[in-house]
Structure 1
Amino acid sequence: MSANALDREVYALMTALEDGYAGVEVTPGGVSWLRVHHVPIRRLVMRLVRRLQTMREPVSPVHREQPLVAARESASIGYVSYDVTDAGVAYTLGLRDDDPKDDVHGTEPEVARQPSRMFRTQLCAISWSSRHAETLLPVLVELAERGITTTVVDASTESSQRFPEPHTPGILVVRLPEAIFAHNGAPPFRHLGALLDGPTVPVGQHEMSLGRLAQLVSYVLVRSTDCTQPSWAAAFMAECWLHGALTALRPDVLLCSNDTSPLGVLAVAAADRIGASTVYVQHETGWMDRSVGRRRPPHRRYGLS
């Protein structure tokens, strides 16, 4: 299967998932579970499609206790990669009815305490890696020298990834509580059960249940590793904290180096809700021509108080 054909198949599946299941669970700010964790979910869907495209015969019987997905550690800090097991393939094809529960103990999301003394700032930046910090700091120093104040939200969970304490007046660093990322737990899917018998879609020579696929990919959201790959419960708490911080800071602009990872998605959405624009700085190229894009916020109401 060519790379283009694989991409088209994955795109079609992701679109079908979003059309049918995006609204099954959303954050308090209205961000879909599929949008927050789009990147890891898409990776898992791609691996499943690859298997189904090359699979000519039904999967062999598997032990009923085998999990649907298998997690393995990655060389990247805090990143866990997921693969679909034979049991997972059988489940999405309707060849296995039981849905074994993940052995990770979930925790109820709770409200994280906001930092005290947060004052209005013209610019807010978010960073959770050393690459973000290396790109953002020279820009923020130059802006500070022009009289533009910045509050940096440091969401890193590793000391090596911290945003350094700036020596330039006009730049303040606040840290998102690390305890947020200690919470495990996938979306509760209160309404998914009624949708499991929903439509099927062809993948290769097979018919896949979209509802079962939604259940399968939700396992990516169970385990919280760190800021780069939070669980649903951790993302829920991070959004509440970011909303409170941005509401207090009231920046005109949010500066962000990554808007596809969960924290980036949540931060950009929170900025939209308070009417702030977002400026993207690509950390691969640094502060160079064509490396910055601006997002104008849609004016929407936010449901948190």
Structure 2
Amino acid sequence: MDNIINELLPDKLSETGAGLPPGQQNEIFDRDASVYVMPAHFLADSQSSPNAKRFGLLILVGGFFLLAIFSVLAYYFLFKQKSIQSSLPAPAVEESSLTTEPPPAAPAIAPSDQSVPDGILATIGPETLSQEEVVNITEEGATGESTTTAADMATAADDILDADEDGLSDQEEVIFNTNPALSDTDGDAYSDGQEVSNLYNPGGNGKIGENPGLIFYRATSFDYGFFYPGGWELSRIDGDNSLIITAPDKQFLQIVLQPNSGRLAIDEWYRDQFTVDTISADLFYARDGWDGLFLEDKLTLYLTDKNREYLVAIAYNPNNTAHHFKNIYQLAINSFIFGDASGN
């Protein structure tokens, strides 16, 4: 026992009196401290059980590693998994897997003048009613479909007669009461086509409203208006919400109006409707009071007023024939206004 103490506590020898003669040692212990000695059987157990110490050490080390492993796993599942899930894109939902009710359709516009069968009202979108659909509106509904293709339209656009090359087709010259053999009928140094484009009368003095071949249509329900040929038939399919203006050869213009429920700018609505990211600059078109965007073929324009209350579609359907009335279509667009107008 004395040898163990001497080995473990060499720096304490002087304090306890170890190494002094026996008489002085007893004197120090008697004066300063009470000494307790471990019972011999405990000492014997500790000397005879080195394996127990190793086992205890292994338990401590193993417990430390288990704690470290559980800590890492807890951090991964609580924080890393959440981060990974938040960074993943939302899963695509297939139509066939949907179990909820479909989103509500665009609000229906109640007819004001005529009773129209359900499901055949023209709506603002990628397609408008074809002439065949218009003439087949019956109690059973419309059954016709447009068969116009891009190739048909490209061919038809090139097959336009313009004898005096003033920009107006020969058929349009008849509407405006201008001379198809003279590029400047009224002799004011501006071609007939230029005057129509700028809303001036190509057949005489004044603005386009002075031309006897035109009528200004005023839609009192929604306070909009535009010019169209007086010799064409105007049909109100759903009050002032949907108009068809038909030429004698069955080509026609169509104007459809609906509320802009989302108060969207025209480019926002266009991107959402046609799922496009970029829009070509030459498709944008604006006039006083509204902003618009053409479809690629330039035969349909979508517009919204500056207050974003309404969405309007103005479309030209040549029915697979030559585009004789492109300037009439452009006139309807350029003259289209919201609010008060004199018709000039």
TM-score (norm 1): 0.20
Greater RCO, 1 or 2 (C-alpha within 8 Å, sep 6+): 1
TM-score (norm 2): 0.18
Query: Greater CA radius of gyration, 1 or 2?
Result: 2
